[in-house]
A and B are shown apart, each in its own frame.
Chain A
Amino acid sequence: MHPAPSIIFFTVFSGLGFGMLSFLGLGKPDVSGFTAFVFFAIAFAMAVGGLAASSLHLGNPQRALKAFTQWRSSWLSREACLAVAALATMGLYAIGVVFFDTRIAILGLLGSSLSILTVFATSMIYAQLKTVPRWNQWTTPVLFLLYAMTGGAFFTAQMWLMPWLFPLLTVVQIVAWVLGDRRFANAGHTLETATGLGRIGKVRMFEAPHSSDNYLTKEMVHIVGRKHVSTLRIIGLLSLTFLPWFAMVFLPFGHMLALAAALLHILGALTTRWLFFAQAEHTVGLYYGQR
């Protein structure tokens, strides 16, 4: 799939934002006043910024309200509804915490759950797609949730969780890659099944339908070199988990260091998310002789 910056930005930052919110809703860290304001501001900025970025991807963003109507069937619609519900709930909750020094626990719990559900819904937008076998497996929601939890925990300074979350994320990410690499082949989609010509013999593309590109080839047929992938995976994992974790555990704590670690984590997440899209092969690629 085409790794569109708006979508990468959206999934990474809304994940981080909602991850943070889910911790904040549980009173972790238990802060109030200006400190709380800063935490909430960062969380909201990321969640809202992410959502806003996603609208850059729309052909007709002015009609975005319509996207709240189909929650019964559409994960994208559900995500939109949940995101708004989560933001609204957490907004109310935040007002209490920041301005009134009052934590309405039940509201926080609700907001926190809605935040997690939002991330889940986001993940399901991808996981539901049978057309992209790499996404269409259990690892996708787990991974999205883990990214959100890890980032959320990290940015809300839940250091006690990090020794668990960083390794877990690392392992699940690796598992997702390993399974993902085989997933397309295992799903059994081939140019032979795509054309129904397999009963005659081996099929290969002779001429693309048009000599020029089209929306489909630009959007869904993206090729990344194998070497490129391994490099990016290593860089991604290093900055996503290893280096921040290493910094937190082995280096003397300081605000600048924490900031650097956070930025590294974000960079790592952007890298692996780029791979998440760029490496995802859509069945349409078969028709264009790609795979």
Chain B
Amino acid sequence: MTTLPQSTERKLGLVIDLDTCVGCHACVVSCKGWNTENYGAPLSDQNAYGKDPVGTFLNRVHSYEVTPDVGATQTVHFPKSCLHCEDAPCVTVCPTGASYKRVEDGIVLVNEKDCIGCGLCAWACPYGARELDAAEGVMKKCTLCVDRIYNENLPEEDREPACVRTCPANARHFGDFADPDSNVSQLVAERGGIDLMAEQGTKPVNKYLPPRPKDEAIDILAPLLAPIAEEPKGFLGWLDRTLEKL
């Protein structure tokens, strides 16, 4: 299965809104919780209470500073999980066929029963979206919550990824990018969604909405206020006149 499908029926993925993400790590932990209990092996933690704890996470939130040519430095919280690339190099390098991209929705998955834990797919991924679980020796990655989004044991409104459901700021959106009318396609169109490291040619499905312009100088709609008085006396005069009119 190591070859990629020519095309997929749907292109499911996430939109991450960098203008809205406050960097709370809620998505990180709900992802950890759901995927520890569900799809495949639990996400383990080594040295859990010791010196150098290292655990498997499928979604992590980085923080960056961006310094424009003029103006104050900005802070951007930056969640990152698998982008479910259309041209996923992690899939084609896999020697066992454990890595694959689903034909019906484009989700990139690891079939843990076949995975030998060689790590090559993680090397092939430009984004750091795959982590080898140290306890189980298999490659873990974001499943786009494939065991939620179709799950008939969940109420319909809950059939979305755990990270999307939990995001308090609503900075994460899930949908079908193949459908131009979907919420995600529209957000991308309106807000100019972008690809990460486009030059890698992976054609990520997940898109990022860039932060809106910040710290903009003078708002033309609100010219500076004109004083009506400089002194309490003048002010009282104005007050008299104004109250008369009320």
Contact = CB atoms under 8 A, between A and B. Distances in A.
Contacts, number: 201
A194 B94 CA distance: 24
A215 B131 contact: yes
B126 A283 contact: yes
Contacts of A67: 95-96, 116, 118
Interface string A196-237: 110111111111111011111011100000000000000000
B96 A212 contact: no
A63 interface: yes
Interface in A45-70: 57-61, 63-64, 66-70
Nearest to B213: A200
A276 to B, nearest CB: 14
Interface in B1-51: 1-3, 18, 28
Interface stretch (A23-31, A128-136, A239-247, A253-261): A128-136
Contacts of A288: 62, 128
B116 A131 contact: no
B200 A131 contact: yes
B187 interface: no
Interface residues of A, number: 60
Given A60-B116, A74-B95, A284 B200 contact: no
A95 to B, nearest CB: 29
Nearest to B136: A59
A213 B64 contact: no
A63 B122 contact: no
Interface stretch (B65-73, B145-153, B174-182, B237-245): B65-73
B235 interface: no
Nearest to A126: B123
A200 B74 contact: yes
Given A60-B117, A70-B97, A205-B62, 19 more contacts: A58-B117, A59-B118, A59-B137, A63-B114, A77-B95, A129-B123, A193-B198, A195-B64, A196-B208, A196-B210, A203-B64, A214-B57, A215-B131, A220-B122, A220-B123, A283-B126, A284-B128, A288-B62, A288-B128
Interface of B: 1-3, 18, 28, 52-57, 60-69, 73-76, 78, 80, 89, 92-98, 114-120, 122-128, 131-134, 136-139, 194-201, 208, 210-211
Task: List 3 A-B pairs, minimum CB-CB distance, nearest first.
Answer: A59-B117, A59-B137, A209-B60
Interface of A: 1, 57-61, 63-64, 66-70, 72-77, 80, 125, 128-132, 187-189, 191, 193-197, 199-210, 212-216, 218-220, 282-284, 287-288
29 contacts: A63-B96, A63-B116, A69-B97, A70-B1, A70-B96, A73-B3, A74-B95, A128-B124, A131-B124, A131-B125, A189-B126, A189-B197, A193-B197, A194-B127, A194-B196, A197-B66, A201-B74, A203-B65, A205-B62, A207-B63, A209-B62, A212-B52, A214-B55, A215-B131, A216-B122, A216-B131, A219-B119, A220-B123, A220-B128
